[in-house]
Chain A
């Protein structure tokens, strides 16, 4: 008897991964009547247990410091106990290695819905110029699609996901879209907007995947401000609640949870036939057969699966005749600075939660001034501030400055809610030094060879980060505030985000016109296998200063429609 258990059923499509890409895919395919299997490496999402949206710190004895005060020892959950990350940069038994001289931290979610359960819901469609960056400045590579081709898919994605925002006809960095009414700007945001006006920086309603009016069974946002903890009402988009749960109700979708995929199976004739996975519950290897395979396991995990799928037909790994799989890994350039704004002292408190994150943001404003800058491409700015929910660490500054006694209360009362923060999110140029490969010497607890990362920021990124720093300091001082963020000593090492920590890693299975230097065509379909698609951040050719999720939603939708049509025509 064979050791490997085969699922007796043959599915139309097996989809690996349940985040924005996988969720969108199974929703669209099941709507076409196509029978899907969805594999998730983590457990099924239990919304009631996992989403701690309305808990207060005092509802748990550890107040959010976690058992034994793990958070104080740097061993707490990423983003805190109440967040719903269900994963992190380090997972027990699932290591990765990093090449000498490199630094990279790989975030993985292990739960149905993946990172969409907690992401920032920033939903920025690419600009027309983002699709042809090489044509514009000679760096990186062009996408095999144009904005005009993708714009209708962004429209569909925005209408489905539900994105707040506003149209601005004269703003190339923030093209018009299909927006829901944005919530009103908060007081500190209005001050920042005024400062931006003076500096020639655009500060406009934020574009976030949160419904502010009823939409397809989702009730409008109730403004509790806890989106990062998961949204019980699904007013904030998650693929789990908005794509996958409804698809499960259709009867066309079977979800296999705790299913860690190792490789794609092929038939030796240029076709994928299914996937091999380890059932984490039993630690047994299993196989799922399907007419088509869609990888949406996250950019690096999908690259890992392809590279680990070596056959006589595909000696470099499935779909990797070009050798680009794993190459051109990109993250977003991140830099943060905070400030203190005395104008906000003594203001009568109001509820600053709103729709969770910032209600305004600053899209890139120097798209036509590159001859005056010492770096290519651009960044957008995200805003923080307001009377946040007090948690572990919130008032430590007051404690240290006052030492002890009445002064702690005095400082806390006076300064609470008077801080603002800026996070720059910029475009990295893909480079030859940033990639992942299989580390042949190390396997994870499931016996699967792990990834080894190599990563390098270049001068392009460092100079962009310095521009962020100066801009943020200028905005802070223009509001009458003072910079409180980084000391000169800190800046020497912390002047740019650690690669991987912005969690926008993309580009490892890129698409392109030429099968010699890309793995996928413009429909996310592998050049070498017609029935294999990759619909996560892997297909990215560049990583514009637009957070990736909405673009994954749009491309995955297009890919799923393409696959459905190819299956109908009998091509797949």
Chain B
């Protein structure tokens, strides 16, 4: 939505309130806050508040691996995922521990696999490690689902074919990667790049609301209600 439209709506909102000037002042303050936030995200080089240089590089590489650039759109790095993670960590020691600990585990695991830190590994070595984590994650997820099931229906636990899957040494990596992916994916799809990627076109000011007949026809022709 353009700023002029926003301003127009704000003016209307102010006119509707009972207390005049105090509201207006706050509207202006709100605008200032907005412009400041916008400038902050658009501005030049970002200085991490929490991560050291090495961690910062690892977060960026992970972001790129989770949501890579393609022909249509940029990567999670272009969408500001590392900044997003750094900002949240800077406000939350619990999250900081999850990330600094997880990043350190990633380096240790890569050293074990390839004798180097995660960022120094080749793309093939990096994706091989992520593949292993994702495979372990699926095992853990199935296992958790079974535990939930058995907690509620313990009579099935003894049956063959219902055995709980064994744990995995990759579990700390699985737990961290779940956090990392969660934040990276959210950062991507809540950015202008990500929203454009999925072609989000809402939250506009429209004078009239219409549903295109073309869209209706398209869906109905692909549905069981197709008129043959």
Contact = CB atoms under 8 A, between A and B. Distances in A.
A406 interface: yes
Interface in A239-288: 241, 244-246, 248-249
Contacts of A351: 201-202, 204, 206, 209
Q: Which of A194, A391, A405, A479 has the most CB of B within 10 A?
A: A405
A348 B40 CA distance: 34
Nearest to A410: B70
A493 B207 CA distance: 45
A390 B182 contact: no
Contacts of B200: 387, 389-390
B95 A57 contact: no
B203 A343 contact: no
Contact of B223 (A183, A480, A487): A480
B198 A391 contact: no
Contact of B216 (A63, A190, A241): A190
B14 A48 contact: yes
Given A57-B190, A409-B197, A492 B152 contact: yes
A61 B211 contact: no
Interface string A529-568: 0000000000000000000000000000000000000000
Interface in A458-495: 478-480, 487, 489, 492-493
B57 interface: no
Interface in B2-50: 6, 9-10, 12-14, 16-19, 22-24, 26-27, 29-30, 34, 37-38, 40-41
A489 B91 contact: no
Given A54-B6, A248-B18, A387-B200, A184 B190 contact: no
Contacts of B197: 409, 412-413
Given A222-B206, A233-B9, A62 B87 contact: yes
Contact of A348 (B95, B190, B218): B218
B187 interface: yes
A73 B68 contact: no
A61 B185 contact: no
Contacts of A47: 13-14, 16-17, 23
A401 to B, nearest CB: 10
Interface string B126-164: 010011001001000000010011001000000000000
Contact of A245 (B16, B137, B189): B16
Contacts of A234: 13, 16
Report, as a range, how many residues of chain A touch the other chain.
Answer: 35 or more
B181 A226 contact: no
Interface string B62-77: 0001111010110000
Interface in A371-426: 387-396, 398-400, 403-406, 408-409, 412-413, 416
A69 interface: yes
Interface stretch (A101-109, A305-313, A352-360): A352-360
A394 B152 CA distance: 30
B interface secondary structure, majority: helix
Given A63-B190, A350-B211, A409 B23 contact: no
Nearest to A190: B216
B137 A403 contact: yes
Contacts of A54: 1, 6, 9, 203
A138 interface: no
A403 B133 CA distance: 9
B152 A184 contact: no
Nearest to B147: A489
B84 A48 contact: no
Contacts of B207: 222
A111 to B, nearest CB: 14
B171 interface: no
Interface string B185-228: 11111111011011111111111011110111011101111000
A219 interface: yes
Report, as a range, how many residues of chain B touch the other chain.
Answer: 35 or more
A398 B185 contact: yes
A232 interface: yes
Contacts of B202: 224-225, 351-353, 387-389
B94 interface: yes
B23 A48 contact: yes
B6 A48 contact: no
A186 interface: yes
B224 to A, nearest CB: 5
Interface string A154-172: 0000000000000000000
A68 B130 contact: no
A413 B203 contact: no
B203 A244 contact: no
Contacts of B224: 478-480
B186 A58 contact: no
B88 A183 contact: no
B12 to A, nearest CB: 5
Interface string A201-241: 00000000000000001110111111000001110000001
B204 A343 contact: no
Given A47-B13, A219-B12, A390-B194, A403 B130 contact: yes
A500 interface: no
B119 interface: no
Given A48-B23, A49-B26, A232-B9, 18 more contacts: A47-B14, A47-B17, A57-B190, A58-B80, A63-B186, A67-B88, A69-B91, A195-B225, A223-B206, A233-B13, A249-B18, A347-B218, A350-B201, A387-B199, A390-B200, A405-B68, A405-B127, A413-B197
17 contacts: A61-B37, A62-B87, A63-B84, A63-B187, A218-B16, A219-B12, A222-B9, A222-B206, A232-B16, A234-B16, A248-B18, A355-B209, A387-B198, A390-B189, A390-B200, A393-B186, A489-B149
Interface of A: 44, 46-49, 51, 53-65, 67-70, 72-73, 183-188, 190-191, 194-195, 217-219, 221-226, 232-234, 241, 244-246, 248-249, 341-355, 387-396, 398-400, 403-406, 408-409, 412-413, 416, 478-480, 487, 489, 492-493
Listed from nearest, the 10 A-B pairs whose CB atoms lie closest are: A68-B92, A403-B134, A232-B13, A57-B190, A248-B18, A68-B91, A48-B27, A343-B223, A245-B18, A399-B185
